[in-house]
Amino acid sequence: MRYLAIIFLVTGMSFAQNKQILYGFSEIPQTLMLNPGGQINNSGYFGLPFVSHIHASAGISGFTVYDLFANNGVDFNIKLRDAIYNSKPRDFGSINQQVEILSGGFAIGNIFKKNEYISFGLYQELDGIWYFPKDYAILALEGNQNNINKVFNASHLKLSGEVISVLHVGYNKKVNNQFSYGVRGKIYSNILNVNSIKNRGTFVTEIGDNNIYNHIFNLDLELRTSGIAGFEDSEADDVYRELKKRTLMGGDKGLGFDIGFSHQISKQWYVDGSLLDIGFINHSKDVENYSIKGTYQFEGINPFFSELETGQTANDYWNKIQDEFSEVFEPDTTYTKFTTWRPIKLNASLNYAFGEKKEKECNCIKKEKEYQNRIGAQLYAINRPRQPQAALTLYYYRKLFKGLSMKTTYTADSYSLNNIGFGLSANLANVNFYVMADNLLQYKNIYDAQSVSLQLGFNYIFKKNED
Amino acid sequence: MIKQLFTYTYIVILINSMCLSCSKPVDFDQVNDLEITPVMESSLVYLNQPATSFLNDGNQISTVQDYVQVQFFNSDFIVDNLVKAEFVFETTNSINSGFQVKVDFLDVNSQLQHSFSFLVEASTNNLNTTSNFTEVFQDNTLLALKNTSMLVFTLKMLSGTPVTQNTVGYVSLKSKGVFYFNIDADL
């Protein structure tokens, strides 16, 4: 039972994909994953396998885990009802998790002017989103007795989830001191996919003509899966082996790309932007889809004069009704291949640097003085099944000491308007370590958080000569 | 120096707030208390016939009877979660003759589990007379309902003015089942 609660908690939380603290944090090589055209200030790096980038985030809109599970003496069923009635069909939960398996990069080009950069790697990602199926919840909670004439909307059921691995190679070019651009090609390998996003239809109980009620069903529901059906009778070892194979690019394939740029407007101002995961996956292995489609009206039966009305006995007529009912409501299983699109993400930022570093001694060789502070605004948007979601971030960045820098963020998004985040990047000799988390204000009661996000990682950096 | 101290303190506080997050008491075992009590209503049987339907080759039929086999009441979901049920009947009659409606509940071996009947009043002036009847299933009768796999419906025309081709009036019956569920987290 406890496990069920934890599953509920995890699925109920939404791991937001926004990495507003990492974005533009150019000491950390993984910022290139958020903008392939971003600024680079190393001549090469490799990530420590499996720990170069660990990301997990979760969020939920509408109600929080604390709203439901607070140990406050209030009956759980009352809290559940409150949560259901206060939630809207556009409320959602989503999860996102990433682990870099391999990651690296190096500068190329003329030995005096290495203005191009190649980065590459393999990472695994889990992404899921579900919307609150309000009308289904109301029907399960109340039944139809108090909802005569209410049209229950079947489209409230909307969810999608995928586990994939991504093999990628990126190219970044610093065209001049003002402008850089970059692209990243991606090959996706599907590990598991479940989605049900195009559901339509209604159910209504109306006052009938022949009988008290007329029940009208009009349903068009579909759940598509890939990578799951084959596991039904498999041993745990086989499942593990197969998942490992798919992680190493042995699953259904897809293609995608990222693009990005950064532009120095003046000495102190710059803008940048990126589009990520413009891509698709073709699902053909272990595909199994279920659909419920059809319309049906039921007013009851006339058992007394059945033969007069229908030409058959009451029981034959009843059997016919049951058959028709099953035809509509028993899910049809199909094995049709399908294509899913990756959730496209947009990032953009406007930044202002200030506060030149004061040198203790006059340094006439150093070309430019470094700014110690930066403030800026970032926009993030992601395409989701119901509608795109956006977040706006304001940040303050500061170099603290040599090799240590920090960034604090304030973010307003679909979950909350008071998300404060903080991140640190530390370089000790050639080792870079970073850690960042958001929604710090919510940590005083983590269960009451609408969303939480955490990233950390270790890299080995080859510094630029001029540093 | 003071500035550096300030910076250090700032970092320590922030890191602490990140790592030593607190949580107010929550109890996930509350899921075990989950209990939902939906009430579903569904149309059952109906009837809307003129008096002349009770004639066969000019002879009056006094009893009409048919049956349906239903697995619905034996299904696991119903057996586990149905806590009460009602069959609600609304009748109108403008025939100068009363009726009796009888419903018998039989199990798989055709053994009678439950039976109820009610009367539909005659209309002496061909205006509609209405009458309602509700059969409640609780405790023993609810168990009988859950054992039911066949329903036998009997409509008996009671003595009154004999029906001829010229007899006017209609008898109609509408009905619904009200199903009270109690679904708990018996997981």
Q: What is the pLDDT of residues B94-126, one digit of tens each?
A: 999 999 999 999 999 999 999 999 999 998 888
B20 falls within a domain: no
In chain A, how long is the greatest CA-to-CA distance? 109
Across chain A, what does the average pLDDT equal? 88
**Residue A164 near residue A125 (C-beta atoms within 8 A):** yes
Highest-pLDDT range among A418-422, A442-446, A455-459: A455-459
pLDDT (average), residues A284-295: 93
User: Which of B 145-184 lie inside 8 A of A, CB atoms?
Assistant: 151, 153, 155, 174-176, 178-179, 181
Q: How many CA atoms lie within 13 A of B15 on its CB side?
A: 11
Q: Is A329 on the interface with B (CB under 8 A)?
A: no
Q: Quick check: A424 and B11 CB within 8 A?
A: yes
pLDDT in tens, A53-83: 999 988 888 888 888 888 888 999 999 999 9
pLDDT of residue A5: 42
**Cα gap A23→A450, rounded to integer Å:** 21
pLDDT at residue B9 tops 90: no
The Cα-based distances of A11 to A14, A60, A86, A417, A438 in angstroms read 7, 9, 19, 22, 19
Is residue A238 helix, strand or coil?
helix
pLDDT (average), residues A287-292: 95
Beta strand ranges found along A179-308 (DSSP E): 179-196, 200-207, 213-226, 253-264, 269-283, 287-298
**Residue A154 near residue A219 (C-beta atoms within 8 A):** yes
**Residue B21 near residue A443 (C-beta atoms within 8 A):** yes
Residue B150: domain span: 34-184
**Cα gap B153→B65, rounded to integer Å:** 6
**Is B68 or A449 the better-scoring residue by pLDDT?**
B68
Is residue A154 helix, strand or coil?
helix
Residue in A closest to B14 by C-alpha: A422
pLDDT in tens, A224-247: 999 988 887 788 888 888 889 998
Mean pLDDT is lowest, of A70-74, A90-94, A308-312, for A308-312
pLDDT of residue A14: 36
pLDDT at residue A366 tops 80: no
Query: Among A60, A127, A58, which residue's Cα sits nearest to residue A88?
Result: A60
**Cα gap A46→A31, rounded to integer Å:** 14
**Cα gap A260→A277, rounded to integer Å:** 12
Sequence ranges of the domains in chain A: 2-462
To the nearest whole Å, the CA of B106 is away from the closest chain A CA by 14
Say which CATH class A2-462 falls into: mainly beta
Q: Quick check: B14 and A440 CB within 8 A?
A: yes
- In the block, tokens 């970032």 appear at A378
Residues 6+ apart with CB under 8 A from A287: A224, A225, A226, A229, A335, A336, A337, A338
- For residue A325, what is the enclosing H or E element? helix A314-329
Residue in A closest to B103 by C-alpha: A303
**Residue A53 near residue A99 (C-beta atoms within 8 A):** yes
pLDDT (average), residues A446-466: 82
Q: Which of A71, A205, A445 sits opposite B41 (nearest CB)?
A: A205
pLDDT of residue A222: 95
B12 falls within a domain: no
pLDDT of residue A3: 45
pLDDT of residue B15: 54
Q: Is A403 left (phi over 0), alpha (psi -120 to 50) or beta?
A: left
Q: Is A136 left (phi over 0), alpha (psi -120 to 50) or beta?
A: alpha
Q: Which of B28, B43, B66 sits opposite A300 (nearest CB)?
A: B43
Provide the residue type at A145 as one letter. Answer: Q
pLDDT at residue A2 tops 80: no
Mean pLDDT is lowest, of A92-101, A266-275, A321-330, A388-397, for A321-330
And the tokens for A459?
């890299």
pLDDT (average), residues A37-42: 92
B101 falls within a domain: yes
To the nearest whole Å, the CA of A149 is away from the closest chain B CA by 12
The Cα-based distances of B169 to A174, B89, B99, B118 in angstroms read 93, 19, 13, 20
Q: Quick check: A305 and B49 CB within 8 A?
A: yes
Query: Among A434, A435, A432, which residue's Cα sits nearest to residue A460?
Result: A432
Is residue A276 helix, strand or coil?
strand
pLDDT (average), residues A198-215: 95
pLDDT in tens, B12-23: 555 555 444 556
pLDDT of residue A107: 94
Q: Is B23 exposed, middle or buried (0-12, 13-18, 19+ CB in 10 A)?
A: middle
Q: Give A85-113 as a 3 state SS string.
A: HHCCCCCEEEEEEEEEEEEEEEEEEECCE
To the nearest whole Å, the CA of B39 is away from the closest chain A CA by 5
Q: Which of B17, B32, B178 sits opposite A1 (nearest CB)?
A: B32
Query: Among A170, A23, A163, A5, which residue's Cα sits nearest to residue A99?
Result: A163
pLDDT in tens, A107-133: 998 877 889 999 999 999 999 999 999
**Cα gap A6→A262, rounded to integer Å:** 42
Q: What is the pLDDT confidence band of residue B178, given thresholds at 50, 70 and 90?
A: very high
Q: Is A300 left (phi over 0), alpha (psi -120 to 50) or beta?
A: left
Q: Quick check: B25 and A71 CB within 8 A?
A: yes
Which one of B45, B84, B182, B186 would you mutate to disrupt binding with A, by most A Cβ within 10 Å of its Cβ?
B45
CA dihedral A305, A311, A316, A319 (to 10 degrees): -90
Q: Is B186 on the interface with A (CB under 8 A)?
A: no
pLDDT in tens, A432-455: 999 999 887 776 666 777 778 889
User: Which of A 173-202 lie inside 8 A of B, CB atoms?
Assistant: none
Query: Among A409, A406, A419, which residue's Cα sits nearest to residue A14?
Result: A419
- For residue A307, what is the enclosing H or E element? helix A306-310
How many separate domains does chain B show?
Answer: 1
Provide the residue type at A60 as one letter. Answer: I
pLDDT at residue A308 tops 90: no
pLDDT of residue B14: 54
Cα A265 from chain centre: 32
To the nearest whole Å, the CA of A150 is away from the closest chain B CA by 13
pLDDT of residue A458: 95
**Residue A70 near residue A79 (C-beta atoms within 8 A):** yes
Q: Which of A205, A400, A446 sits opposite B21 (nearest CB)?
A: A446
Task: Say which CATH number the domain at B73 has.
Answer: 2.60.120
Q: Which of A1, A66, A208 sits opposite B26 (nearest CB)?
A: A66
pLDDT in tens, A156-181: 999 999 999 999 999 999 999 999 99
Residue in B closest to A214 by C-alpha: B43
**Residue A152 near residue A135 (C-beta atoms within 8 A):** yes
Q: What sign for the dihedral angle of Cα A32, A35, A41, A43?
A: positive
pLDDT at residue A183 tops 70: yes
C-beta neighbour count of A451 within 10 angstroms: 26
**Residue A433 near residue B40 (C-beta atoms within 8 A):** no
- pLDDT cut 90: percent of chain B above it: 58
pLDDT at residue A363 tops 90: no
pLDDT at residue A12 tops 50: no
**Cα gap A411→A389, rounded to integer Å:** 13
B152 falls within a domain: yes
CA dihedral A400, A401, A404, A409 (to 10 degrees): 10
Q: Quick check: B22 and A444 CB within 8 A?
A: yes
- In the block, tokens 């953009």 appear at A348
pLDDT of residue A1: 41
pLDDT in tens, B27-42: 888 888 889 999 999 9
Q: Which of B27, B44, B53 sits opposite A305 (nearest CB)?
A: B53
